[in-house]
Structure 1
Amino acid sequence: MDSCFHVLIQALLHCAPSSPPPLPATNCQGLCSGGTASRSDPLTSAMGNLCCCVQVDQSTVAIREQFGKFDSVLEPGCHCMPWFAGKRVAGQLTLRLQQLDVRCETKTKDNVFVNVVASIQYRALADKASDAFYKLSNTRSQIQAYVFDVIRASVPKLHLDDAFEQKDEIARAVEEELEKAMSAYGFEIVQTLIVDIEPDEHVKRAMNEINAAARLRAAANEKAEAEKIVQIKRAEGEAEAKYLSGLGIARQRQAIVDGLRDSVLGFSVNVPGTTAKDVMDMVLITQYFDTMKEIGASSKASSVFIPHGPGAVRDIATQIRDGLLQGSSVAKH
């Protein structure tokens, strides 16, 4: 019995080709390592052919053909494969999420060339595995072509600054176009991201300089406004101080006039025979000598040369009196 089984195995090994026939070129073969049909050594293939069984890994589906024609999609697990009835596994298709990074060079509306980097996340649909396996020969090239088309149609309508601000709108346009195109081939577009927009290095440097100049200009304007406010407040303070100083001087002079009037009236009453003129002359002489005393007593006073003599007081009194009389006559007219 053992010798018969050994002879049968040898016959199968002899009939089996030395190298398995190549699988038809499919889109999944260029996408990931799990996208190709798995091959085993001749002994394992012989045992599989003898037992008419085939294994499909998790997150993978197998395409079964009968005499070169599509027969069915095999889910993960162990399946019967009657090779003598012309059935075979044409290949396997991964259902895992895959990512394709596309770099597209285009220009903006203001004639700035940029590199737009887009990341496309996609996967094959299990219920459309036959379409994904047979309809496309190179899925990555197909997706890349659609991405180029949409980006080069969208970005030239935008200025450079607007392109940075509207990255989500560009990604949404790419995703909608890919979803419409790839759904017919059994693929689902899960997510589309505009990862980066890279202008030329000279453009980056110029943008940074423009930004820095704008910030410096804004800082200068703010500084000028601050200095303006300080000067206005200082002027308002000086005006208010001068106003209050004028009020103080006016009140001081009013107090002096009131005091002089009271002094003249009191002196005239207490000293009979004196006139108001005599009293005013005496008051002026007193004020004159008090002023001289203050000038001499001040340590910081400069040298002051004034005409001085017995008649100087009379001259000062006459000048003051004449000024008062002229002011009174002007007020009457």
Structure 2
Amino acid sequence: MFELIGLVLVVLAIFVIVGLVTGNLFYVVKQQHAVIIERLGKFHKIVGAGFHVKIPFVDRKAATVSLRTMKNGFNIDVKTEDNVTIGLEVSAQYHVSYERGATPQESGVYKSYYMLQQPVAQMRDFITDALRSSIPVYTLDEVFAKKDDIAKDVNATVSEQMDAYGFTLVSTLITKIALPAEVEDSMNQINAAQRTKAAAQDLAEADRIRRVTEAQAEAEAMEKAGEGIANQRKAIAAGIKESLETIQETGVGNAEANQLFMFTQWTEMMSDFAKTGKASTVVLPSDFSQTAGMFEQMVAASSAGRDAGEPPAPTAER
């Protein structure tokens, strides 16, 4: 009996010594990692971060699974509704599911290791299939306008598929849309033409506003000028009336008063004409007595004007 116990102790001591020498007895799991332990080739348990012990040559670390969020980028070619082939740069953020499940076999760590051999390649296929199913219903312009909505729809679809394999798809982003060179040139030309058209319309509208403003200002100026002329003529007429009334108060008759007023106006006109200096010659009667004939001609011209419909010269009547 003692010999059997001693033999067991010797065997255990050998295992410990070999384990210590080979480093196959103790192990440490880092933070945000999980280790799958297999015993004699069969799943045994999942251990988390910390210090652990395993049986040398019986237990082995089958895999160390990272629980941190990872990122992968994919280049995918798709065709739009208007038959334009575009290249999409897609970025996917994902991590092993944190779900533990009722049993270890239902946990995300177990599924991610035992159910899917190439998770990144499988995720790429799912994303490619989802994009090639959704993009063809949009035109090129709609893809640019709705790329965020498209990415959300793809993320929802692929998340459900990857969840069965123990992965959680955090987000799917369309980071770039690459166009064929000829399509990009055509779009640039269209945008340039639209901007030129908009600029021409703006210039035309500005010119129209300027013309309307100038016309309104000119109309207002003419209106004010007309009011000024009318007021001036009223003032002149009032002055003439007052002058004639003053002359008539001296006993001069209407005809003589009108002739005297016309002579006074004529002399003032000739004085102003001489002061302007714009003419060097003025023809006058040689005999001052002939000015009476000039008065008669002016009166005759005034009468002819009244006969033709012109307003009569203002006179003062008692």
Alpha-carbon displacement from aligned partner over 1:246-278 (angstroms, at most 9, x marks no partner): 22222222232232233233323303xx43122
One of 36, 47, 56 as aligned partner of 2:22: 47
TM-score of the aligned structures, taking structure 1 as reference length: 0.74
C-alpha separation between the residues in 2 aligned to 1:313 and 1:233? 50
> Aligned pair 1:320/2:298, yes or no?
no
Alpha carbons of 1:319 and 1:176: their partners in 2 closer, same or farther (altered >3 Å)?
A: same
Query: Does residue 140 of the first structure (1) align with residue 120 of the second (2)?
Result: yes
Residue 102 of structure 1 aligns to a residue whose secondary structure is: strand
2:92 to 104, 120, 134: 120
In structure 1, what is the Cα distance between the partners aligned to 2:146 and 2:77? 17
**Number of the residue aligned with 2:156:** 176
The code of the aligned residue for 1:322 comes to A
Compute the TM-score of the two structures, normalised by the length of structure 2: 0.78
**Distance between the aligned counterparts of 1:187 and 1:53, measured in 2?**
29
Conserved? CA contact 2:130–2:158, under 8 Å: no
- Letter of the structure 2 residue corresponding to residue 287 of structure 1: Q
Closer/same/farther in 2, CA of residues 47 and 259 from structure 1, 3 Å limit:
closer
Matched, 1:161 2:141: yes
For the structure 1 residues 282 and 75, does the alpha-carbon distance in structure 2 shift closer, same or farther, using more than 3 Å as the test? same
Q: Give CA-to-partner distance per residue, 1:203-257, whole Å, 9 cap, x none.
A: 3343333333333332332222222222222212222222222222222222322
Task: Supply the AA of the counterpart residue of 1:281.
Answer: Q
The structural deviation recorded for 1:61 is 1.8
Q: Deviations over 1:267-308 (max 9, x none)?
A: 23303xx43122212222222232222223214x36798897
Any idea what the Cα deviations from partners look like across 1:23-76, whole Å, max 9, x if unmatched? xxxxxxxxxxxxxxxxxxxx8885334xx4344333222222233222221223
1:188 to 168, 176, 179: 168
TM-fit CA distance, 1:164: 2.0
1:104 touches 1:117 (CA, 8 Å); kept in 2? yes
Match of 1:22? none
2:226 maps to 1:236:
no
Letter in structure 2 aligned against 1:61: A
Tell me how far apart the structure 2 counterparts of residues 303 and 268 of structure 1 sit (CA, whole Å): 37
Would the aligned equivalents of 1:102 and 1:147 in 2 still touch at CA under 8 Å?
no
* Counterpart in the other structure of 1:283: 261
Secondary structure at the aligned position of 2:236 is classed as helix
- Residue-by-residue CA offset, 1:137-190 (whole Å, 9 max, x unaligned): 111111111111122222222222322221221111121012101111111112
2:203 equivalent among 187, 210, 223? 223
The equivalent position to 1:79 in structure 2, one of 31, 35, 52, is: 52
| 1:296 pairs with 2:269 | no
Whole-Å separation in 2 of the counterparts to 1:68 and 1:327: 130
Q: Residue type matched to 1:48 in 2?
A: G
Deviates more, 1:249-258 or 1:75-84: 75-84
178-187 vs 198-207, greater mean Cα deviation: 198-207
Unaligned stretches of 5+ residues in structure 2: 1-10, 101-107, 313-318
Give the match for residue 152 of structure 1: 132
User: Aligned pair in 2 of structure 1 residues 246, 56: CA closer, same or farther (>3 Å)?
Assistant: closer
2:65 to 93, 99, 102: 93
2:75 alignment partner in structure 1: 103
Asked whether the equivalents of residues 64 and 70 of structure 1 are also in contact (C-alpha less than 8 Å), the reply is: yes
**C-alpha distance in structure 1 between counterparts of 2:51 and 2:245, whole Å:** 135
2:70·2:93 contact (CA, 8 Å) conserved in 1?
A: yes
1:255–1:88 CA distance, 2 compared to 1 (3 A): closer
| 8 A Cα contact 2:305 2:311, kept in partner | no
Shift of the 101–280 alpha-carbon distance from structure 1 to 2, 3 Å rule, reads same
- The CA RMSD over aligned residues, in Å, is 3.0
Percentage of pairs with the same residue: 30
Unaligned runs of 5+ in 1: 1-7, 13-42
Correspondence 1:226-265 to 2 at 5 A: 226-265=206-245
